[in-house]
Amino acid sequence: MSKQFQFKLVLLGESAVGKSSLVLRFVKDQFDDYRESTIGAAFLTQTVTLDDQTTVKFEIWDTAGQERYKAPMYYRNANCAVVVYDITQSASLEKARTWIRELQRQADPSIVIALCGNKLDLSARRQVSQEEAKKYADEEGLMWTETSAKTGEGVTEIFTAIAQKLPLTAPSATRAGAGRAGPGARAGVDLNKQAASSGQPEACNC
């Protein structure tokens, strides 16, 4: 029997570390040096196939400028968080640490957190050593890796590693359909469905 898991993944980290670029690389295998933030894109989805039997679908919430102010809604019910820093900016690791503290304090205790050092292609300008980041990640029990959204190095790997870890830590998150997944997910009321079946087509000039 094949299984599909669906998980909510959020990206966090300082501005310009490459969060959106990582998503773009992972979902569309593209990179853009002068990327404008995509207006209107709430989240993207991407499926990772683990084996013939198991696929993991990520509902990826990229930052939209709101979550930089710690909107709890943003990481509510998130099954995993990728906290990104820029290896050429040591201050960005500090910001990543504050995000991780926030997640540890406020997010679901079962959340899987991956620390991700991006812009590996710029390692000539490296300010954050691998040792320092790895040591911190080990102390906090986080997954850790370095990536380059530009070359693609490490990008699929980090998402696949999360996909492999998740079903083990959050087995109850099996969901067939779309919607918010998570260990706490329960069947609530579906406003959209009810609106459609209420018989009254609602006025809509689309």
Ligand X SMILES: Cc1cc2nc3c(=O)[nH]c(=O)nc-3n(C[C@H](O)[C@H](O)[C@H](O)COP(=O)(O)OP(=O)(O)OC[C@H]3O[C@@H](n4cnc5c(N)ncnc54)[C@H](O)[C@@H]3O)c2cc1C
Ligand Y SMILES: Nc1nc2c(ncn2[C@@H]2O[C@H](COP(=O)(O)OP(=O)(O)O)[C@@H](O)[C@H]2O)c(=O)[nH]1
* Binding footprint of ligand X on the chain (CB under 6 A): 14-16, 63, 65, 68-69
The option from Mg ion, another protein, ligand X, none interacting with 171 (CB < 5 to 8 A, set by class) reads none
| CB-CB contact of 56 with 7 (8 Å) | yes
Shortest spacing between CB 155 and Mg ion, in angstroms: 15
| Binding flag, residue 79, Mg ion (CB under 5 A) | no
Minimal CB distance to Mg ion: which residue? 20
Nearest CB to ligand X, comparing residues 63 and 118:
63
CA 132-154-126 angle, 5° bins: 40
Q: How many whole angstroms separate alpha carbon 46 and alpha carbon 69?
A: 26
Shortest spacing between CB 186 and Mg ion, in angstroms: 32
The option from ligand Y, another protein, ligand X, none interacting with 204 (CB < 5 to 8 A, set by class) reads another protein
Shortest spacing between CB 76 and Mg ion, in angstroms: 20
The option from ligand Y, ligand X, Mg ion, none interacting with 145 (CB < 5 to 8 A, set by class) reads none
Instruction: Report residue 197 as tokens.
Output: 């079946």
How does strand 112-118 pair with strand 80-86?
parallel
How does strand 143-146 pair with strand 112-118?
parallel
| The binder of Mg ion chosen from 9, 10, 20, 86 (CB under 5 A) | 20
How does strand 54-61 pair with strand 143-146?
unpaired
The residues near 103 (Cβ < 8 Å, ≥ 6 apart) are 12, 75, 81, 83, 111, 113
Nearest CB to ligand X, comparing residues 80 and 84:
84
Minimal CB distance to ligand X: which residue? 15
Q: How many whole angstroms separate alpha carbon 95 and alpha carbon 118?
A: 14
Shortest spacing between CB 78 and ligand Y, in angstroms: 17
| The binder of ligand Y chosen from 1, 2, 33, 200 (CB under 6 A) | 33
Q: How many whole angstroms separate alpha carbon 97 and alpha carbon 167?
A: 26
| Binding flag, residue 95, ligand Y (CB under 6 A) | no
User: Which residues in this chain contact Mg ion in the complex, by CB under 5 A?
Assistant: 19-20
